Structure 1
Amino acid sequence: MASVYTLSVIAAWYLSNVCVILLNKYLLSNYGFRYPVFLTMMHMLMCALLSMAAHASGVVRKQAIKGRTHAIKIAVLAVVFVVSVVCGNISLRFIPVSFNQAIGAITPFFSALLSLLITRRKESTKTYITLVPIVLGIIIASKAEPQFHSVGFVTCLSAAFARALKGVLQGLLLTNDDEKLDSNNLLMYMSPVALFVLVASTIFMEPDAFGIFYQNCLNSSRFVFILTLNCILAFNVNLTNFLVTKCTSPLTLQVLGNAKGAVAVVASIIVFRNPVSSFAIVGYGITIAGLVTYSNANRRGKKAARL
């Protein structure tokens, strides 16, 4: 029964991840609701409401904030998290999901670079070598991408950088055992800060979004259904992320995440029928192979460090 539960959690995590990416792309590009900051704000609002409900119901054990310094650290992470999600959603306005996922695979490269610059933590030479095909694959895919867009490329690259920065800062700022929070508690405490930043950003960057959102809700029940489903899935990504880590391990989550990118690429091509050249496919393949190699090298490095 335990294995069935674990497989069910992994399947839910996969489905939520891929579906929320595809629905984001549909709303921001195909449907024409071109307000990525507002969409991120709605995601965060739903995440805040449902995470509080999960804690209130006792499904997730609540962890307390350990003072003012701890709260400031969480606020810093919230701002970086907002930047990563907003940039990722902006990129979906301009580039296909397949290309978005390929660029996002460069996150380990930024993680290794930022770890070296910020924490002075050095990886093994083999680990650094495995980052080469990841970058090479993205360069090939970018050159061969039929729907390449400079704004989409830069914002997606920025999202990958921000995700890597969040990971490094989380390890740096929340290193004390008393300060460590699971993903759901971290999300619950980050949500108010993230919501404040997102509301202010929406008012400044997308002032028409609120009116268009209201009109779309009045005119289309389909829009309301898709947006609500999208927001619920965004929360479910965070919930199942925590459950997968609990049932397996952080390393397994990383490996599954690498494979998830490949699934999202294929799903995007099938659903949106965006053109993909043979050279782009080669680039995607090289990047995915690099990610697998990187995961294995990283795992061996951690084992060697423990011995």
Structure 2
Amino acid sequence: MSAKVALSPALATGRFFTIWLVTAWYSSNIGVLLLNKYLLSNYGFKYPIFLTMCHMTACSLLSYVAIAWLKLVPMQAIRSRLQLLKIAALSLVFCGSVVSGNVSLRYLPVSFNQAVGATTPFFTAVFAYLMTLRRESWITYITLVPVVTGVIIASGVLGNAKGAVAVVISILIFRNPVSFTGMAGYTLTVIGVILYSESKKLNK
């Protein structure tokens, strides 16, 4: 006879809050991606750097509200000049990434943009080795093969669970051409990302 374990109100609330956060993140992330595509490609807005500035300004203001006023996470002070330099470098790289992504949306379908984004684990592993000489296990490198192969196949139009939703919605909205080869490549890419994530978990 199986007994049902009732969740405590606090645990249930925590789970619902987590689900809400994940849903909000997925929705906002995909929404921004599709809105950028519409503004830069379909609507004819030609200022991706200005668009990035709006994104960064909104993120800064809302983050300050969430930290200083709503107290969602504690305020953290910069402890040294080295830490400041690292934060500044990361900010510049991230800003460059967003600018490049926005510019690419003027010329690429959202589906292909997401498929290319799925190669992040591959380039992370490559640069981690080049910069720190840190090697992953052989199985981790093997799982990266379908990631890259999938994107190569998809290049003839289609990265992760979030990307799948963005691809479907973008196809419905922007009418991106979809072929069997493209779908096969995109599917292979997703499988590769899942295998990579699982191999990382096993090696911890």
CA–CA distance in structure 2, aligned partners of residues 286 and 55 of structure 1: 40
Q: Which amino acid in the other structure matches residue 183 of structure 2?
A: I
Which residue does the alignment assign to 1:231?
Answer: none
Matched residues, number: 191
Show the 5 A alignment for 1:71-110. Answer: 71-110=84-123
Q: Please state if 1:45 is matched with 2:57.
A: yes
Residue 114 (structure 1) aligns with: 127
Written as runs of structure 1 = structure 2, the 5 A alignment for 1:101-180 is 101-142=114-155, 144-145=156-157
Q: What's the CA shift string for 1:108-135, capped at 9, x where partnerless?
A: 0000001111111110100000111111
Partner of 2:9: none
Cα drift, residue 269 of structure 1: 0.7
Task: Describe the SS at the equivalent of 2:165.
Answer: helix
Q: Deviations over 1:29-74 (max 9, x none)?
A: 1111021111001111111122222222023310010121111111
Q: CA-atom RMSD, angstroms? A: 1.4
Q: What residue is the counterpart of 2:201 in the other structure?
A: 299
- Is 1:25 equivalent to 2:50 in the alignment? no
1:261-280 map, 5 Å = 261-280=163-182
Greater relative CO (CA pairs within 8 A, separation 6+):
1
SS at match of 1:136: helix
Measured after TM superposition, the shift of residue 3 of structure 1 is: 1.9
Unmatched segments (≥5 aa) in structure 1: 147-256, 303-307
| Partner Cα separation in structure 2 for residue 90 and residue 23 of structure 1 | 13
Written as runs of structure 1 = structure 2, the 5 A alignment for 1:145-294 is: 145=157, 258-294=160-196
Equivalent pair of 2:109/2:157 in contact (CA under 8 Å): no
Match in the other structure for 1:14: 26
Q: Letter of the 2:107 partner, please give it.
A: F
Q: What residue is the counterpart of 1:191 in the other structure?
A: none
The amino acid of 2:83's aligned partner reads H
Q: How far did residue 258 of structure 1 move?
A: 2.2
**Equivalent in 60, 72, 75 of residue 62 of structure 1:** 75
From the two aligned structures, give the one with the greater helix fraction. Answer: 1
2:74 aligned counterpart, secondary structure:
coil
Gaps of 5+ in 2: 1-12
CA contact (8 A) 2:66 2:72 kept: yes
TM, length-normalised to structure 2: 0.90
Counterpart CA distance in 1 for 2:134 and 2:178 is 38
Give the whole-Å Cα distance in 2 for the aligned partners of 1:84 and 1:60.
Answer: 26
Question: Aligned partner of 2:174: which letter?
Answer: F
SS at match of 1:93: coil
Bigger Rg, structure 1 or 2: 2
Q: Report the AA paired with residue 292 of structure 1.
A: I
Identity percentage of aligned residues: 57
CA distance in structure 2 between the aligned counterparts of 1:10 and 1:114, rounded to whole angstroms: 29
